[in-house]
Amino acid sequence: MKTVRLDLSHSPYDIHIGQGLLQRVELIVPLLPQKQVAIVSNETVAPLYLEKLRASLEGAGVCCHSIVLPDGEQYKTWETLNLIFDGLLANRCERKTTLIALGGGVIGDMTGFAAAVYQRGAPFIQIPTTLLAQVDSSVGGKTAINHPLGKNMIGAFYQPRLVLADLDTLNTLPDREFSAGLAEVIKYGLIDDFEFFEWLESNIERLMSRDSEALAHAIERCCRNKARVVAQDEKETAGVRELLNLGHTFGHAIEAGLGYGAWLHGEAVAAGMMLAAHASHELGQIDDESVARIKALLTKAALPVAAPDLGLARYRELMAGDKKVESGRIRYILMRELGQCYAGELPLDVLEKTLKTGCDR
């Protein structure tokens, strides 16, 4: 088992990465202020892992309630969030009852947000069961739900007390979701870790065959990278954390433009990172070879490398609604060189050329 420590001012916590962690209740129980938990999961993950987790917790004398939600990004809404509150209140859960998120990014984001606001803040533990959630959404305390007019528009910064990334849960992950997780893995190489990008180029086949050792290394590296950034800029005010949005300004537009759930978040981010690469190339910052290397790696990870052709006007409209907009100006994460990103703006003509080059037609 590897452990990454998140050193945040108020609420430091550990991310444990390894096999068989669902049964390691001794990692969980000492952190519960009350021997009562509510496990929030979805209809896909619950049949696979809920009973295993519940049995190990109940074996340690913990009273477990469970709340099972429908599965999918399209359910990351007020209405589904309310199902969590209904379940908590119907079971008389108190503000010291710990909420455990058992599932992917959507379950983590919604359960974290529910914990942030239930009785103004209940304890929260995350057990991410997808690669994407293990490398990305379980680190950093961003929780949220979507609004019809924008993704993750309603949310909170709220840190878990513990994250358990059990590698065994990745074995049941469908190929498409596994690849979507690799998009966020590759993102960390591109942001500011060229060495890791090269390691990924050499090990992408091992990762695609879900080799545990390679996976553990990649997940740990991503968590360490993200932990470093989050510790510097917990609430995204210092401009550092912004870099984690590589591929996300375009990506969120793709997700919203096609309707949530049509493309997986990681797929949209992959196509968004390619657009960021094309834009950076257009600006004369990265060369043809770099663009080709990014494209090759994403392709080996079975990810889309062309964005859907929504048209310039629609892309602009969708991106103008993004949280990263400041005083009406859209902020993009761009590449200074391969493995080195920065935040900046894009002139309209560059955006137009980027979409011409990078969109499927």
Task: Give the active site residues.
Answer: 120, 142, 184, 226, 236, 241, 245, 248, 252, 265
CA dist 285 and 110 (Å) reads: 38
343 binds its own copies (CB under 8 A): no
Is 142 annotated as contributing to ligand binding? yes
Binding to its own copies in span 51-90, by CB under 8 A = 78, 82, 85-86, 89-90
For residue 297, which amino acid is it?
L
CB of 80 to its own copies, least distance (A): 12
Structural contact between residues 46 and 107, judged by C-beta atoms closer than 8 angstroms? no
Vertex 345 angle, CA 341 and 350, to 5°: 100
Comparing C-alpha atoms, which of 256, 260, 277 is closest to residue 322? 256
CB of 123 to its own copies, least distance (A): 12
CA dist 2 and 177 (Å) reads: 24
306: which DSSP letter?
Answer: S
CB of 306 to its own copies, least distance (A): 29
Is 169 annotated as contributing to ligand binding? yes
Structural contact between residues 289 and 129, judged by C-beta atoms closer than 8 angstroms? no
345 binds its own copies (CB under 8 A): no
150 binds its own copies (CB under 8 A): yes
Radius of gyration of the chain (CA): 20
Instruction: Considering the complex, state which of residue 72 and residue 150 has its C-beta at the smaller distance from its own copies.
Output: 150
Burial class (CB in 10 A: 0-12, 13-18, 19+), 238: exposed
11 binds its own copies (CB under 8 A): no
Task: Please select the residue that binds its own copies; options are 29, 31, 63, 153, rule is CB under 8 A.
Answer: 153
Structural contact between residues 181 and 165, judged by C-beta atoms closer than 8 angstroms? no
Binding-site residues: 71-76, 105-109, 129-130, 142, 151, 169-172, 184, 248, 265
Binding-site residues for Zn(2+): 184, 248, 265
Q: Name the residues that contact its own copies, by CB under 8 A.
A: 34, 78, 82, 85-86, 89-90, 92, 94-96, 113, 116-121, 142, 144, 147, 149-150, 153-157, 235-236, 320-321, 323, 325-327
